[in-house]
Amino acid sequence: MLDAAPDGPVAFCADLSPAGLLAAYRAGVYPFPASDDYARALNEVVYADQVDEGRIPLVGEESADHYAASWWSPDPRPVLPVPAAHISRSLARRLRGRPAWSTSLNQRFEQVVRECRADRVPLWLTDELIASLVRLHELGHAHSVEVWEDGDLVGGVFGLQVGSVFSMDSMFFHRPGASKAAVADLAARFGQAGGLLLDAQRDSPHVRGLGALLIPREQYVRHLRRTACDSLPMMPAATLPACRLTGPAGSR
């Protein structure tokens, strides 16, 4: 996998089971299921030559429809070291304003996942993937942070924890800055539990704005292997005011 293309799938595998997902995240790989038959066929058309040449493996049983899900591990990888996570001055002003926001952990995991799926194109959060994510949440591997305004869910982030690394799958917002507040809250809670790194998975201006930096895939996978067996305490679960994130360590 470390020799795979930096900006393409590293494997095709139809296994989206909870066990399969967890094993993949522990190896630094995340899924991108095809949203429909057209997307599945496009995977085969675009990548069949690389599969035939052995550059992209087909993983799993021979009878499986491998092209139904591609698996990715970008190089370089965007990550946020937990101690360096910050919020901007503009977000700090918003968090000090009104109406006040609060944040929580794991109160509405499936709702956060489904909000992340809403109106997204392509639709990679398929029903099968959501079911496995919910099961991993029940088993204590997947977590969500929620942002609330007057009892309404206005933002959130979710992902999987592997030792001292938290891989963020997706985030959403219904108020400007709410997804950034969710990530800042996740960093604060994860840091209190001994977490070291937030994995943003895919590079973008949005994650750069959160403070993400790029590291080689090999370095990220090496860090995962070194810390995957770390047994951390549970993240603090209390519902807390979001304005606490605006202290000197949380703003710039």
The secondary structure of 63-88, three-state, reads CCCHHHEEEECCCCEEEEEHHHCCEC
**Given CA atoms 227, 228, 233, 239 in this order, what sign does their dihedral have?**
positive
116 within 8 A of 242, measured Cβ to Cβ: no
Cβ(155)–Cβ(50) under 8 Å?
A: no
Distance CA(57)–CA(13), nearest Å, equals 9
Backbone angles phi, psi at 251, to 5 degrees: -130, 165
Domain limits, the chain: 9-72, 77-250
Q: What is the pLDDT of residue 1?
A: 59
Per-residue pLDDT of the chain (252 residues; tens, 9 = 90+): 556 778 899 999 999 999 999 999 999 999 999 999 999 999 999 999 999 999 999 999 988 999 999 999 999 999 999 987 778 888 888 888 878 999 999 999 999 999 999 988 889 999 999 999 999 999 999 999 999 999 999 999 999 999 999 999 999 999 999 999 999 999 999 999 999 999 999 988 888 877 889 999 999 999 999 988 888 999 999 999 999 998 754 443
Burial class (CB in 10 A: 0-12, 13-18, 19+), 37: exposed
CB 29, CB 71: distance < 8 Å: yes
Taking residue 151's Cβ as centre, other Cβ atoms within 10 Å add up to 6
pLDDT at 90: 86
Locate all alpha helices (DSSP H) within the chain, ordered by sequence: 18-26, 37-52, 89-96, 109-117, 127-138, 178-192, 205-209, 217-227
Instruction: Say what the pLDDT of residue 84 is.
Output: 79
pLDDT value of residue 231: 86
Strands 101-105 and 69-72, by their bridges, are: unpaired
Return the pLDDT at 148: 97
With CA atoms as reference, report the closest residue to 178 among 114, 61, 116, 91: 91
36: left (phi over 0), alpha (psi -120 to 50) or beta: beta
Task: With CA atoms as reference, report the closest residue to 183 among 205, 217, 149, 212.
Answer: 212
Domain 77-250 adopts which CATH fold?
A: Aminopeptidase (3.40.630)
Cα dihedral 17/58/9/77 (nearest 10):
60
Q: 249: which DSSP letter?
A: G
| Residues 92/251, Cβ–Cβ less than 8 Å | yes
